Structure formats: C-alpha cells, structure tokens
Amino acid sequence: MPEKNKQIKILLLIAVFTIVVALFFVFDLQKYLTLEYLKSSKAFFISSYEKNPILVLGSYFLFYIVITAFSLPGAVWMTLGGGAFFGLFAGTVIVSFASSIGATLAMLIVRFLLRDWVQSRFEKQMQIINAGINKDGGFYLFTLRLVPAVPFFVINLGMGLTPLRAGTFYWVSQLGMLPGTMVYINAGSELGKIQSVGEILSPTLIASFVLLGIFPLLVKKMLAFIEKRRNKENV
C-alpha cells in the first residue's frame, strides 16, 4: 500500500510538471520574458509596485520560483527585470531567495521524477558533475555557481542525481550565486534608468556590462588561486 501511494504521488507530480510546462508554451508566456517587454512595461510595473509593493514583490517572487523550478526559459530577463523594477538592494534579496528556492525544487523534481531522462540527456555533463562532487563535495557546487561554465538549469538537474543533501544544495547555491546575482541586478538597475538612446553609452551602464563580462574571469582566477593553495597544503 505505501508503495502504491508513492507511485500515485509521483504520477500526480509528473502531471503537474507536464501541465505547467505545457501552459507556459501554449499561452506563449515566454514573450513576457524579453528585453522588449521589460522596457515597454517598466512604467506599469513601477506604478504597481509603488501602489502595492507586497503584492508585486510576492507575485514576482512566486513567478521566479516557478520559472527556475520547472527550468523554463527567461530567468536571465527575470533577474535583469528585478534590478530594473526593484533596485539593487531589494532586487538582490528577492532574486537571491527566489532563485535558490526554485533551483532546489528543480533539483528535487529530478531526484524523484526525472532521474533516468536527465541521466541519458546530459550524460557528458553528469560525468563531470559526478567527478567533481566525489572529489570536493559541496565546494564543487560552490565553484559551479560562481563560474557559469555549466548552464544554471543543468547544474540544478544534474545535482538531483547526486547524493548531495537538499539543505546543503540550497545554502551553497544561494551563497555561490549571490555575487553573480548582484552583478545582473546591478546591470538591470542601470538598464531601468535609461530614458533616451543617448543614455545607453552612460559610464555607469558601460561599467555594469563590463563587470558582467569580466566577472566569470575574475572568479575563475580566484578559484584557481584557492585550488593552488589547497594543493600546496596537501603536499
């Protein structure tokens, strides 16, 4: 009987997953996750936020979780939008928690529902992830989150096939994604300030996108230095 109940729960979760993904594409919801839409709806969102900040923040928070939990396209634009609409501080806080919760849910969905599909679809990436987890454990996840060498959603899916605890996955992901989140939120906040074409070449906006480009390189150098120090200590 317990085994039958477990199978029913799994089938229900699969049904929910299928319905959510299908609705997203059937109603073409991805058209709302573009730079053009973010720019055109800026005034409306800011006005709504000023009138009812809790409702707008809560709706954005839940929508972001759904996008990341079901590995749907648009998380990058959601992050930039968080900066444009809420500013650096509020945007960073809400995106940090929403992305970490969504990523953890995505990992759990794979762990209990999509294990075989992910293993076959991303076999090459899984070999890399498994080798890293076996060697460094949670620190390997931390490095993956800092350096976007592996796509965000692939990390979420891949970690569902490892023995890493959900709690560890959550806090390591939140800590590892925080610097990158701040960089994207800052870029989004600068985009949100543009009122004319001439402002596209403003020093602050250029600096934001330069930081967006060099951030992975800086982190890679830092991690290489840490790895070198660790190897020396182990000698």
Measured CA angle at 132 (ends 121, 137), to 5 deg: 115
Q: What pLDDT, on a 0 to 100 scale, did the predictor assign at position 233?
A: 63
Q: How confident is the model at residue 169 (pLDDT cuts 50, 70, 90)?
A: very high
Q: How confident is the model at residue 76 (pLDDT cuts 50, 70, 90)?
A: confident
For residues 209 and 188, what is the distance between their CA atoms, to the nearest angstrom? 10
| Mean pLDDT across the chain | 75
Flag whether pLDDT at 170 surpasses 50: yes
Flag whether pLDDT at 166 surpasses 80: yes
Altogether, the residues listed in the chain come to a count of 235
Contacting residues for 101 by C-beta, under 8 A, at least 6 apart = 65, 68, 69, 170
- 71: left (phi > 0), else alpha (psi -120 to 50), else beta? left
Extract the tokens encoding 232. 């020396």
Q: Of the given ranges (82-96, 110-124, 129-143, 148-162), which has the lowest mean pLDDT?
A: 110-124
pTM exceeds 0.75 for this model: no
Q: What pLDDT, on a 0 to 100 scale, did the predictor assign at position 189?
A: 80
Q: What pLDDT, on a 0 to 100 scale, did the predictor assign at position 232?
A: 65
SS3 state of residue 70: coil
Q: Tens digit of pLDDT for each residue in 198-226?
A: 444 456 555 655 565 566 556 666 666 66
Name the DSSP class of 193.
T
SS3 state of residue 9: helix
Tell me whether residue 170 is exposed, middle or buried, using C-beta atoms within 10 angstroms of its C-beta: 0 to 12, 13 to 18, 19 or more: middle
SS3 state of residue 143: helix
To 10 degrees, what angle do helices 88-112 and 53-69 make?
A: 40
Let me know: does 155 contact 144? Beta carbons within 8 Å.
yes
For residues 80 and 181, what is the distance between their CA atoms, to the nearest angstrom? 9
Q: What pLDDT, on a 0 to 100 scale, did the predictor assign at position 37?
A: 73
Flag whether pLDDT at 179 surpasses 50: yes
Let me know: does 106 contact 71? Beta carbons within 8 Å.
yes
Q: What pLDDT, on a 0 to 100 scale, did the predictor assign at position 203?
A: 61
Q: How confident is the model at residue 45 (pLDDT cuts 50, 70, 90)?
A: confident
Q: Tell me the average pLDDT across 40-56.
A: 85
Q: What pLDDT, on a 0 to 100 scale, did the predictor assign at position 207?
A: 62
Tell me whether residue 6 is exposed, middle or buried, using C-beta atoms within 10 angstroms of its C-beta: 0 to 12, 13 to 18, 19 or more: exposed
CB pairs under 8 A, 24+ apart, for 23-32?
24/70, 24/72, 30/72, 30/73, 30/74, 32/74
Q: Tens digit of pLDDT for each residue in 119-147?
A: 677 677 777 777 777 777 777 888 778 76
Q: What pLDDT, on a 0 to 100 scale, did the predictor assign at position 157?
A: 80
Extract the tokens encoding 222. 């830092």
Q: Tell me the average pLDDT across 147-153.
A: 71
Share of the chain above pLDDT 70, in %: 60
